[in-house]
């Protein structure tokens, strides 16, 4: 994460652009501050970048407390919070306590675990051993406060249709 290059994509090579607005930047700062006050450690980043624009340094936090805002709300910023866990049940409880449910990601070599985790996660999408799960041919959408319904693919098209049953007796 420390090697990522934030910046204006039109001004040269970059890996990460700005946040969408000042409120989004303030939310990232609030989530990081909350995690740090709860005992998290900074591995890299954790600061607004100088200069113009809404840039926040790519951030990795270790030992994030289970109750931290970053675990309960959608941050939508360049922050990865690492939380230690011992059992699958424990990590599912930590993940599912969130009011949001857009996407989750599971990294494992155990095929059976990947199925158990994807079944147990309360999200609209799950990436197994990948962070790139968005494509126009797959349904996109979440659950809980992350939205209702899907867009993309034939499932997204169904959101705009009204099904009508017609029963004909001849």
CA 159 to mean position of chain CA atoms = 23
Q: 3-class DSSP state for residue 48?
A: strand
**How would you write the pLDDT of the chain (170 residues) with one tens digit per residue?**
999 999 999 989 999 999 999 999 999 999 999 999 999 999 999 999 998 899 999 999 999 999 999 999 999 999 999 999 999 999 999 999 988 999 999 999 999 999 999 999 999 999 999 999 998 889 999 999 998 888 888 888 888 888 888 898 88
User: What is the H or E stretch that residue 128 is in?
Assistant: strand 125-128
Contact between 124 and 146 under an 8 Å Cβ cutoff? The reply is: yes
pLDDT at 161: 84
C-alpha distances (whole Å) from 66 to each of 24, 29, 89, 101, 108 are 22, 18, 14, 17, 21
Q: What's the chain's length in residues?
A: 170
Q: At what angle do helices 111-120 and 88-96 cross, to 10 degrees?
A: 30
């Amino acid at each position: 994460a420390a090697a990522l290059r934030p910046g204006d994509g039109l001004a040269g090579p970059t890996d990460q652009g700005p946040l969408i607005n000042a409120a989004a930047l303030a939310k990232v700062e609030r989530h990081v501050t909350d995690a740090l006050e709860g005992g998290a450690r900074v591995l890299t980043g954790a600061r607004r970048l100088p200069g113009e624009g809404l840039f926040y340094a790519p951030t990795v936090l270790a030992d994030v407390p289970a109750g931290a805002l970053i675990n309960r709300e959608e941050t939508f910023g360049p922050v990865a919070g690492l939380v230690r866990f011992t059992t699958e049940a424990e990590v599912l409880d930590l993940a599912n306590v969130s009011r949001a449910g857009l996407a989750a990601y599971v990294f494992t070599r155990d095929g059976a675990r990947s199925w158990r985790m994807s079944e147990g996660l309360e999200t609209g999408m799950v990436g197994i051993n990948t962070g790139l799960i968005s494509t126009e041919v797959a349904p996109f959408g979440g659950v809980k406060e992350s939205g209702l319904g899907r867009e993309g693919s034939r499932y997204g098209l169904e959101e705009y249709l009204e099904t009508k049953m017609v029963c004909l007796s001849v």
